[in-house]
Structure 1
Amino acid sequence: MSDISASEYINQQNALEDEAREIMPWNPSHCTYVDGGLRQPVFACLSCGEIGVCYSCSIQCHANCELIELFTKRAFTCDCGTERQLAKPKKDNEYWCQLRKNTTQDIPSLSNSYGPNFKGYFCDCHKQYDPESDSTMIQCALGLECNEDWYHCACIVQTQNQIEEGEKPSNPTEQSLPLGFPSLESFDAFICWKCASRYKSVFRDLLAHSRSQDLIAHKIKHSSPASEKSEPNTGNSVDGLRKRKYDMENDESFSLMLLPGYKSVLLEIKAELEKTSKLYLFMDDIAPFLTEDEPVYVPPEDSDDDASTYELGTQALSSTVDRDVAAVGLRAMDGIKQKLSEFLQPFADSGQIVKEEDIRNFFKLQNKE
C-alpha cells in the first residue's frame, strides 16, 4: 500500500462501502422463517446440504458457505436453522440460526419445492451458471413442473435448431441474445415446455380461445428437430387456432411467451368461463399468480444510521468487493468506525501522511482487544 493522507484513506473506504451497499442494499436483520412461505430472494447453500436461505441468513449465517443466488422463488420458507441443515456454518457457535438464536433445529417447511437449482444446476442443459460466459437466461413464470427454473435463451432456440448462420439481431441492445431468439421487449413472461406439457389440456383450451391473439407473443416448438422459428402472434385466424389446437392434441411440446399485460387478458378470459371448466379452475386454484399481482418480499433497506466507515475490515483498500467479502464486511463491528475516526483525526488535523505501518498497527491493536 502506498502512503496516503487520512482524507484519501477515508474516501477510498467510503467508496468501498457504497459499492458493498449497491451489491447488498438491504438490512440483513430478519430471518423470514417465522413468516412462512413467501415469494422472496433465495440463496442455495451447498455447504449446508442444498438448502435455501433468505437474504438475511445468507449474510448473517452463511457468508462463508458456498452460496448460489437463485433470485425469487414462490412460496418458499427459509431453511436456515431447520432439520434440513446438515451442519452449523460455525461449529463453535451455539445457534443454528444467528438471527433466530435457536439452539435446536426447527421443523422445516413441508411445502418447499426443490429442483436442480438448489444443487447449483440450471436450464435443461443441467449446467452450473457462469455469469462471465453464459448467455442471457429467463425464468419460467409458471414453474409448477420445473420449479421456476432458469433457461439459457440459447438452449431454448438450439433445442429446435433455430439458429441461422449470419443472422443479425435487429435490436443492438440485445446483442447478448442468441440468433433466432425473440426480442425481450416483445414478451413479458415465459412458460417453459415442461410446464406447458404438464397442463396440456389447459393450454390447449387457452391457445384455442378467441382472445389468444391478445395473449400469446411467441410459441417455440421443442419436439421436432426441423421445426420452424418461434411463431409470433399474427391474428385471430381460424386456421391458426386449429393448428395450435392440433399441435397440442398431437403431443407437440413447446414453450409460450406471453404479451405484456397478459394478466388482465387472462382475468377477462376467466370472467367469461364456466366455473367448472378446466381453464377456470387452473387460473383460480392452481396458478392464481398468473392473474393476480404477486408481491415479492423485500427486506428493509439499510439506513445511513447503520453505516460503518470500516464495515469491510482488512479489505478496506481492496479495489473490488465481491458478494462474500461484502457479506463479511456488513457483519463487522460498528464500534470500529469510531475507533478508526479517533485514530485518523490527528493525521487529518495536521495533514500528516498515513503510512501502511500506521494502519497495520491499528489493526493489530484491534485484534488484541
Structure 2
Amino acid sequence: MSNTSAIEYLSRQQELEDEARKLMPWDPKSCSYEKGALRQQVFACRTHGNIGVCYSCSIQCHTSCDIVELFTKRNFTCDCGTDKDQSKSENQQFKCQLRKNREPDVASLQNVYGHNFRGLFCSCNQEYDPDSSAVMLQCVLGSECNEDWYHDYCIVGKPKQEVKKNGDEETLADGMPPLDSFDAFICWKCVSKYEYYFQRLMSHPLAQDIIAHRIQHGSSEEKDVSHSVKKRPIDDGGNEYSLTLKHGYSKKLAKIKETLDKETDKLYKFLNDLVPFLVNDDPVYEEPEDTATEADDMVALLLQNCMQREHAVAGISAFNTLKTRLSEYLKPFAESGKVVSGEDINNFFKENDEK
C-alpha cells in the first residue's frame, strides 16, 4: 500500500458513499404494502413463489433471494409478507421484515401476474440477457401484455439470428424506427385488443401529432403514419402491428378527449375509463431519498449492484464494524495531518484480526 493521508482516505470513502447513493438513491426503510395499489418499481422474487415485491422489500427482506428487476408496474401492491408469499424460512420471526407482521397479510386481488414474474420477457419468453446489445422496449399500455418488455427483432417478427449487425454490435432490426423519433411504445397484442379505438385515433385529424409509427409485426415494413392521416380507419389486411407515440402525446390525447361526447362516444370511454394513464401519466411512487451516511447503508447499495445478494448481510455487518474501527484509528492521523503508512494500516488489520 502506498502512503496516503488519513484525510485523503476518508475523502475517498465519502466518494464511494456518494456513488452508491446515485446508483440506489431511495431509503429502503418502508414497505409500500399499506399504501395499496401504486405505479411503482417492482421486483420479482423467484425464491418466494414468483411474487412481486417493492423496492424496499427487495433490499431488506429478500437479500438472499433470486430477484429479477421488472422496473415499473401499474396498480401493483407489494406481496412481501402476504398469503401469496411462499417463504420457506422457519426461523424468520416476521413475514415482512419492514411491516413486522407475524401472520400473512391479505394479498391484493388487483395484482396481475404474467411471465415477467418468472423472469421471462417478450413474446419469445426468454430471460433478460444483460450481455445482449438488443434493444428492449416496454409497452406503455400493457392491458393485454401486463406491461411486458419486447426485443426490437420480436417487435418486427424476426428471429434473433436475422438481426443485422454492425461489427460486433447489433443495430436496430429492419422495420424499427429510430429510438429518438418516438416517446412510447404500444405492443401489437394491446393494439389488437383495442384495435377499434386505435383505428379511430389513427383516423382523427390530430393523429399526426400523436402517432409516430405503425410497425408491422411479421414484416420488415415500418409505416410512418404521421404524414399520411386518412379520413377513415386504416385497413391492414388482418396484419398485427405495434404503434409508437410522439413526444407530448398525452396533451394531444387530452385535446381529442375534449371533443368527444362523454355520454355516447366509445372512444371517450376508452380514454377516460380504460387507459386514463395515456392521457394523464401516472407518477411513479418512490421512497424518500436516502440522506443517511451510515456505512451499512452505503455497503448495502454497493453490494446490491456488485455482489451476489446472499453475501450482502454478512458483508454489511462486517464492513460496518470495520469502517467504524478504521475511522476511529485514523482520527488522530487526520487531526495531526500525519501521513498514514502501509505499516500503520497493516498494524490496524493485525490488531483487528486478533479481536
TM-score, normalized by length of structure 2?
A: 0.85
Task: For 1:180-329, list aligned pairs within 5 A.
Answer: 180-222=175-217, 225=218, 227=219, 229-238=221-230, 241-242=231-232, 244-247=233-236, 250-275=237-262, 276-303=264-291, 306-309=292-295, 311=297, 321-322=306-307, 324=309, 328=313
8 Å Cα contact 2:163/2:171 also seen in 1: no
Q: Which amino acid aligns with 1:257?
A: T
8 Å Cα contact 1:164/1:179 also seen in 2: yes
8 Å Cα contact 2:26/2:288 also seen in 1: yes
Identity over aligned pairs, percent: 46
Change (3 A) 1:148 1:357: farther
Q: 1:13-65: per-residue Cα shift (whole Å, max 9, x none)?
A: 33432332222111111100000000011111111110111111111101111
Q: 1:62-88: per-residue Cα shift (whole Å, max 9, x none)?
A: 111111111110011001111111115
- Residue 355 of structure 1 aligns to a residue whose secondary structure is helix
Which deviates more from structure 2 when the two are superposed, residues 142-151 or residues 290-299?
Answer: 290-299
Superposition CA RMSD, Å:
3.3
Change (3 A) 1:331 1:155: farther
Q: Which amino acid aligns with 2:255?
A: E
Task: Determine the C-alpha separation between the residues in 2 that align with 1:55 and 1:334.
Answer: 22
Task: Determine the C-alpha separation between the residues in 2 that align with 1:159 and 1:266.
Answer: 32
Q: How far 1:290 moved relative to its partner?
A: 0.8
- Residue 211 of structure 1 aligns to a residue whose secondary structure is helix
The match for 1:36 is 36
Change (3 A) 1:165 1:67: closer
Change (3 A) 1:3 1:144: same
- Residue 306 of structure 2 aligns to a residue whose secondary structure is coil
Task: Determine the C-alpha separation between the residues in 2 that align with 1:262 and 1:37.
Answer: 25
Task: Determine the C-alpha separation between the residues in 2 that align with 1:119 and 1:311.
Answer: 29
Change (3 A) 1:325 1:86: closer
Q: 1:68-113: per-residue Cα shift (whole Å, max 9, x none)?
A: 111110011001111111115x542301111100111111111001
Q: Which amino acid aligns with 1:321?
A: C
Change (3 A) 1:268 1:138: same
The match for 2:23 is 23
Q: How far 1:268 moved relative to its partner?
A: 1.3
- Residue 235 of structure 2 aligns to a residue whose secondary structure is helix
- Residue 269 of structure 2 aligns to a residue whose secondary structure is helix
Tell me, yes or no, if structure 1 residue 118 matches structure 2 residue 122. no
Change (3 A) 1:330 1:23: farther
Q: How far 1:133 moved relative to its partner?
A: 1.5
Which deviates more from structure 2 when the two are superposed, residues 108-117 or residues 324-333?
Answer: 324-333
Q: 1:252-305: per-residue Cα shift (whole Å, max 9, x none)?
A: 2110011111111111111112222221111111111111131110110011xx
Q: How far 1:326 moved relative to its partner?
A: 10
Task: Determine the C-alpha separation between the residues in 1 that align with 2:211 and 2:198.
Answer: 11
Q: How far 1:325 moved relative to its partner?
A: 8.4
Task: Determine the C-alpha separation between the residues in 2 that align with 1:264 and 1:311.
Answer: 41
8 Å Cα contact 2:24/2:301 also seen in 1: no
Task: Determine the C-alpha separation between the residues in 1 that align with 2:267 and 2:116.
Answer: 29
What stretches of structure 2 of length at least 5 have no aligned partner? none
8 Å Cα contact 2:31/2:98 also seen in 1: yes
8 Å Cα contact 2:186/2:242 also seen in 1: yes
Q: Which amino acid aligns with 1:359?
A: F
The match for 1:342 is 328
Task: Determine the C-alpha separation between the residues in 2 that align with 1:19 and 1:102.
Answer: 34
Task: Determine the C-alpha separation between the residues in 2 that align with 1:259 and 1:57.
Answer: 35
> What is the number of equivalent residue pairs in this alignment?
344
8 Å Cα contact 1:122/1:128 also seen in 2: yes
8 Å Cα contact 1:210/1:236 also seen in 2: no
Task: Determine the C-alpha separation between the residues in 1 that align with 2:18 and 2:193.
Answer: 46
Change (3 A) 1:158 1:96: same
8 Å Cα contact 1:312/1:325 also seen in 2: no
Q: Which amino acid aligns with 1:343?
A: Y
Q: 1:235-267: per-residue Cα shift (whole Å, max 9, x none)?
A: 3554xx54x5322xx432110011111111111
TM-score, normalized by length of structure 1?
A: 0.82
Q: Which amino acid aligns with 1:115?
A: G
- Residue 245 of structure 1 aligns to a residue whose secondary structure is coil
Which deviates more from structure 2 when the two are superposed, residues 109-118 or residues 128-137?
Answer: 128-137
- Residue 85 of structure 2 aligns to a residue whose secondary structure is coil
8 Å Cα contact 1:96/1:103 also seen in 2: yes
Change (3 A) 1:149 1:4: farther
- Residue 284 of structure 1 aligns to a residue whose secondary structure is helix
